[in-house]
Structure 1
Amino acid sequence: MALNATMRAVMWEGIPYSVTVASLPIPTVQTGTDAVVQVQAAAICGTDLHTYHGVYGSSNAPWSLGHEAMGVISEIGDSVTFLNVGDVVVVPDLMESGHLNLEPQMGEAIGLGTDFGLPGGCQVPSGNENASYPDPTDFLFLSDIFATGWTALDYAGFEPGDTVAVFGAGPVGLLSAYSAILRGASRVYSIDHVESRLQMAASIGAIPINFVETDPVQEILRLEPSGVRRAVDCVGFEAVNADLELQENIIVHQMVAVTGFRGGVGQVGVWDSAGNTTGTPYAATLSPNITFPMSDFFNKGLQFQAGPVDPKVVAPHLVELISNGVAHPSFIISSEISIEDVPEYYSRFDQHLETKVVIRFP
């Protein structure tokens, strides 16, 4: 490797609605358990938009963005035992210290700055523990969004035959609706306001509801008088109401309203509590606390689970589904671009002109 060799990286510098592309030093092995991955494909995630809006991430900008990646191992430490140079791997968005543990846990998160444990985006700090699984692009989404959409249903207590309401038809919401259909849901409702997303949801067999045109609670209860069995939130704290104005609690209220007796609610859309900092200059515009319809929740006997998803827990099953041709999550891709085009496509993604953007590398 050439002295002072550099790579191109997408940078968050604390300026809302702006990202840059800069040259950073190419990482090298630091300890025996390290592995360096030459990224072949990465993606822009909805979580990245929370950072783009200035409301989520570490307090100290700048940092390099990105937490969905796959690539080829270019270098390994002398203690790495089950990976080799040349292996194609997927990088999960949550890391951990020590050897791989497939028990659910919250580890270090990639692409959100040093407050979340790792300085850079889409790099594998410990290859002996965290890299796994093969090609092609379908597998890229094991890094985060396919696993997250799948696990949202687990959080809600999903069982085959259930009716499901999925709030949000961005990449995670679409893959949650897709997961529900793969897992044998009897009916799946997809709630959003972006027509292209709703059309995509309909194309996989979900029932689209545009919440700007139709009250989703009234519409779902018209079609499901006893309510749905499961509801999931794939939006998080930047939820908007029918006037497209920020209303953090609206989806929680709607999920409780549409979920029937002894049903379940799952929530994987990002929530965070932070003040205004150089890394999160607009964070204080969002409240970490919301009103909750406790009486309805209690009287219906509902269950509610929320939180980050560790993709490594469900990855083995999802790998099998993709490998056997059962699942094709790459249907959500709308554009494939070069890294130099990323600033434009962050803007396009933020304006809902893209469903999912994948960055390709030579």
Structure 2
Amino acid sequence: MKAVVYEGVPFQMTIQDIPKPVILDPNDAIVRITTSAICGSDLHVYRGVMGGTPPWTMGHEAVGYISDVGSAVSSLAVGDYVVISDSQSHEELDLKPEPQTYFGFGLPDVLDGLQAEYARVRLADQSLIPIPLTHETTNTTIEQDYLTLSDIFATGWASLDFAGFQPGDSVAVFGSGPVGLLAAYSALLRGASRVYAVDHIQSRLDRAASIGAIPINFRDEDPVAQILALEPNGVMRSVECVGMEALNSHLKKESDITIKQMVAVTHYGGGIGYIGVFKAHVNSPGAPLGSSIAPDITFPMSDFWEKSLSLRAGGVDPREYAPILLDLIESGKAQPSFIGSAVVEIDDVPSYYESFNRGEEVKVFIHFP
């Protein structure tokens, strides 16, 4: 089968023929992937700052149908359409929280990624998210909508929970890539009074404006000053959807700039959600440029304390948010595929990593015929 493979060379993705996965455990399922995508966090790998031991298959977002199941799988059958969550279940019964493990980053005990024609999913009953599609009812757009449940819609929605969002709150979203756009979209769906979308790429800001957010270009002027000019008391909630490769107004990396801006712009007693990936891999063979990302940042603790702010950061388990987001999509209340800017076939993926890295794409979906 064809797959997108990273071999540890920054700014280079390859298309390779690799063995099709097979059932290795009674709890496994094999999924024939019909739609995958390039995620913003895949760019951390592409840029050589994150990842494990190469080579590995890229990708952690996918929709498809089950082509084979192990003998112990009870809730799924061949032909069922599913979303593959970006992270895997650890055990059949989780009695305590554990760190999440993700597809497609070359890390220990993690399956290969989902930018491929097939994938093996362990603990399929727990890991897969069934969706109401069949071979007769599926189409490209609806698959793109459902694909966002695997990571980015769930992550954008959760960022508001991390910040303590309540209906009527004002929100500043730092970063208007796919996750940031869906965080802004989620805030509007949930009844935010005003949503500010911060970025420097005009096409992304235009897309944010199209859903009702107020665009803030941080290259024009300090985003804190721009937001406070419109929101003199600050916003109640700020969310970070950029992560460790955040840029300053000169488009130079400054990993702590967004946390400083969020503390500055958030109202007394407000909350901050930080879901941008911040995982420095300084000594990994798959991240030869990992040392360019410091694992520590400067934190404005005095202002944070004085303003009685709260902060929650980390990854998101999409399965936790699947029921509510499935209902929004199925009922037609949410169409998260609006973020899409290109639909490509797998042979074109390396060139679209390049254009996505240059900021020329918002979201690239991969179609498998």
Tell me the CA shift for residue 98 of structure 1: 2.1
1:339–1:359 CA contact under 8 A, matched in 2? yes
Write the deviation string for residues 49-84 of structure 1: whole angstroms up to 9, x where unpaired.
Answer: 0000000111x1111000000101000011100000
Q: Relative to structure 1, is the Cα distance of residues 178 and 312 closer, same or farther in structure 2, using a 3 angstrom cutoff?
A: same
Tell me the CA shift for residue 304 of structure 1: 0.2
Q: 1:249 aligns with which of 246, 253, 256?
A: 256
Write the deviation string for residues 215-257 of structure 1: whole angstroms up to 9, x where unpaired.
Answer: 1001111111111000000000000000000100000000000
Write the deviation string for residues 189-226 of structure 1: whole angstroms up to 9, x where unpaired.
Answer: 00000000000000000000000012100111111111
* Unaligned 5+ runs, structure 2: 134-141
Q: Which residue of 2 aligns with 1:3?
A: none
TM-score by length of 1: 0.96
Deviant stretches of 4+, over 6 Å:
none
Tell me the CA shift for residue 278 of structure 1: 2.3
Tell me the CA shift for residue 114 of structure 1: 3.0
Q: What letter is aligned with 1:184? A: G
* Unaligned 5+ runs, structure 1: 1-6
Q: 1:30 aligns with which of 14, 21, 24?
A: 24
Q: Which residue of 1 aligns with 2:321?
A: 314
Matched, 1:235 2:242: yes
CA distance in 1, matches of 2:229, 2:275: 26
Q: Aligned residues: percent identity?
A: 51
CA distance in 2, matches of 1:157, 1:105: 23
Q: What letter is aligned with 2:320? A: V
* Secondary structure of the corresponding residue to residue 108 of structure 1: coil
Q: Any residues of structure 2 matched to 1:218-297 within 5 Å, and which?
A: 218-297=225-304
* Higher mean displacement: 129-138 or 333-342: 129-138
Tell me the CA shift for residue 97 of structure 1: 2.0
Q: How many residues align?
A: 354
Tell me the CA shift for residue 152 of structure 1: 0.5
* Higher mean displacement: 121-130 or 84-93: 121-130
Q: 2:200 aligns with which of 190, 193, 202?
A: 193
Tell me the CA shift for residue 101 of structure 1: 5.7
Q: What letter is aligned with 2:193? A: S
1:100–1:130 CA contact under 8 A, matched in 2? no
Q: What letter is aligned with 1:129? A: Q
CA distance in 2, matches of 1:63, 1:188: 38
Q: Relative to structure 1, is the Cα distance of residues 104 and 92 closer, same or farther in structure 2, using a 3 angstrom cutoff?
A: farther
Tell me the CA shift for residue 107 of structure 1: 2.5
Q: Which residue of 1 aligns with 2:111?
A: 119
Q: Relative to structure 1, is the Cα distance of residues 102 and 45 closer, same or farther in structure 2, using a 3 angstrom cutoff?
A: farther
* Secondary structure of the corresponding residue to residue 18 of structure 2: strand
Q: Which residue of 1 aligns with 2:7?
A: 13
CA distance in 1, matches of 2:95, 2:217: 38
Matched, 1:44 2:51: no
Matched, 1:69 2:76: no
Q: Relative to structure 1, is the Cα distance of residues 335 and 102 closer, same or farther in structure 2, using a 3 angstrom cutoff?
A: farther
CA distance in 1, matches of 2:184, 2:98: 24
Write the deviation string for residues 69-113 of structure 1: whole angstroms up to 9, x where unpaired.
Answer: 010100001110000000000000011122376997532210011
Q: 1:54 aligns with which of 41, 48, 57?
A: 48
Q: Which residue of 1 aligns with 2:173?
A: 166
Tell me how large the CA RMSD over aligned residues is: 1.3
Matched, 1:92 2:85: yes
2:51–2:284 CA contact under 8 A, matched in 1? no
* Higher mean displacement: 135-144 or 295-304: 135-144
Q: Which residue of 1 aligns with 2:138?
A: none
